[in-house]
Every structure is written in C-alpha cells, then in structure tokens.
Structure 1
C-alpha cells in the first residue's frame, strides 16, 4: 500500500507541480490573476487529486476483493493528498528560488494598482499596503510560507479523499467488471 500511496501521490504532485512551476516561471511578469488564476490553480489541483479516487478504487477492486471501509479509504486518500501537497510546496519553493523570492512584493504592487484603478481611496490603499507589508514579513519565515502553501492545496485533496472514500465504500459503486 505504501508503494501505491507514493506512486499516486507523486503523480498528483507532478500534475499539480509542473503547471505551477511553468506558470510561476514563464508567466512571472504577467501571471493570471484574480478569478482566472484561482480557477486555473484549483482546477489543476482537482485534476491532480483524481489519483486519489483511482488509487482507492484500485485497492478496493484489485487488492481487497471489491470491498473497502470508509476509514482505511480515507486514510489512503489523505496520505496521497499529503504526498501531492508536499510536491506542490516543493514546486512553489522552486518558483520562488528561480524568481528571486520576491513574489509578495510584486503581488502587492499588482493589488495596489488594481485597487487604484478601481478608484479606491488613499486610506484604503494605505491599509492595503500595511496588510501586504505584514504578509511579506510573515512570508519570509520558511515555516509560515510552507504552512500557507500547504493550506492552499491540501483542502482540495481532503475533499477528494472524503468524497472518494464515501463513494467507494459502497461495493456496488463502479464495481470491477471481469470479462
């Protein structure tokens, strides 16, 4: 089972990490922002974590004779999500290393420019600059940055794990078809 967790977790990590790295390095000057950037990111995460469903189904059908309980399925899904999330964190750290680690400063300037273009008052802009300065201070701490990045990706894996475990505990849901 450890091999299956590692294999599917690394596949998920590559599926989510490579696009992150490519967008973070190739599109560093003009990254997708707002709803478009979030949609691309979370859709990629969702696609990557479909490996959780595949792995639980394979374990249920091939190794366990068509039956798996909820908790073991959830545990397996969470382990795969953890491996995939760690790959995502490593990809993000690689993006920061390639780009000089100044992500928050450039994001701050972009957010300020967007707010100014939307007609925000000087007080609102000053408050945004203060918040972003605090975020930049927090982001310089490696552990805090890892935690922030982990919280970005792991909930998607948690959701897919819960859904997969709930569906696949029923042996009549997508049963193995033998010829």
Structure 2
C-alpha cells in the first residue's frame, strides 16, 4: 500500500499545484533505488507510473485544460460528484494504509460502507447547491433525484477507477486473501460438508470470474452505486420544494 501511495504522490502534487514538476520529487528522494532494493519486481510498475506522471503534469498545467476544469467545477453536479469520489478514495486508501498487509475483512466491510455513506453525503449538498443556485430555490422531486443520481454516478466511476488501479498495482493478491477469509468463515460456520463443498465451488467460480476486468468493474460499481441511489432518493424527498411565485 505504501508503494501505491508513493507512486501517486507526483500525480496529486501535479494536480494541486500545476507549477510543480513530478521529477523534483523523484530526484529528491531517489525513489526508484529504494523500491528496487526492497520490492524487487515492483520497480518496473513504479517506473511506468513515473513516466506517466510528467505527462499528466503537462496536460493539467495547460491553460485551456485549467479553464475547462474551472468551468466544470462551477457545475454543482461535477463539483460534488468529484468531491464525493475524492473523499471515498482517500478514506479507502487511508484504511488500507493503516491496516497494512493484515486486512480485516470483517471490519473492512463495515468501514467500507460507512465510508461510502460519508462520501455520498455530498449528494445532499450538491442537490441543495443546484436547487439554490441554478433553480432559484425550488426543485421538483424528479429533478432533485436526477441531480443526485448524476452525482452518485460520478462518484461511483471514480471509486471503480481507483479500485481497479489499486487492485492492479498494490493489492494483486486481494482475491486470494478474500478467498482464504471466506473459507475460514465457512469452516467455522458449522455447515455440513455438502453445504461447504457447494460454497467452495461457488467461490472458485467467483474467483475465476473476478480475473475478468469487466466483471471486476461491474462488481465494484454495484458496491457503491446502490448506496448512492438510496442517498439520492432520500435527498430528493427532503429537498424538494416548489418555487413560491410572488404576485
């Protein structure tokens, strides 16, 4: 996890401060030498990311791109969608970093959904901002739900991209660890041997399907989007308001 976070430090710094060149960070800490000594074959993946980092810096430092980003961020849907996605990714990576290699799946599931709820609370603020600043203080249930749904979709897309990157570079053995955890839970459940064999067969099939990136993306999307759907529905009920016409 530490390797993954270190790899993306140049990305983050380049986006927050376009005048910052990612090469400064690399030359300052001599990162490739350290990684080659401690992590062996992972240095190749890291160096690929380092080559991508300056390219991203060049793109995001361009004035036209910065102007487009500024215009996008003035739209409440994009602003709060990106904010929700950013929060869920930071909290997710933070939890992985704190737990290290000893990931607790039982607590991780609870923390994961709590993280989603916290980040998707941005749907409420996004719909409220859209209602007050774009529609003059009034919004129908349908429009509020639509705006909330768009914010949830943006957040879900960011979540999926973040997990695909993390599972590809930092947690390549995630499914193996989850499989082992599921088998331990199954053995301690008191189920009959027939039930255990059936569940083992299902897990083996699921493990094989998870190797397909499109299947993995779909599963990851369905982890967060239903939560966003519920939050958008509740938000629409709470914030719907008719515009009071004067005169």
Q: How many residues align?
A: 171
Partner of 1:49: 120
Note the aligned Cα RMSD (angstroms): 2.2
Say whether residues 1:110 and 2:181 are aligned partners. Answer: yes
TM-score by length of structure 1 reads 0.84
Whole-Å Cα distance in 1 between the matches of residues 98 and 212 of structure 2? 25
Shift of 1:100: 4.4
Partner of 1:166: 237
Residues 31-42 of structure 1 correspond to what in structure 2 (within 5 A)? 31-34=103-106, 36-42=107-113
Structure 1 segments unaligned to the other structure (5+ residues): 173-179
Q: Which has more radius of gyration?
A: 2
**C-alpha offsets along residues 117-160 of structure 1, whole Å, 9 cap, x if unaligned?**
34444444333321111111111111111111111100111111
Structure number with greater CO (CA < 8 Å, separation at least 6) is: 1
Instruction: Indicate which of 162, 168, 172 corresponds to 1:97.
Output: 168
CA contact (8 A) 1:28 1:99 kept: no
CA contact (8 A) 1:12 1:48 kept: yes
Instruction: Indicate which of 126, 135, 140 corresponds to 2:211.
Output: 140
Say whether residues 1:30 and 2:95 are aligned partners. Answer: no
Shift of 1:28: 5.0
Whole-Å Cα distance in 2 between the matches of residues 25 and 94 of structure 1? 15
Shift of 1:98: 2.9
Whole-Å Cα distance in 2 between the matches of residues 100 and 79 of structure 1? 29
Say whether residues 1:7 and 2:88 are aligned partners. Answer: no
CA contact (8 A) 2:123 2:152 kept: yes
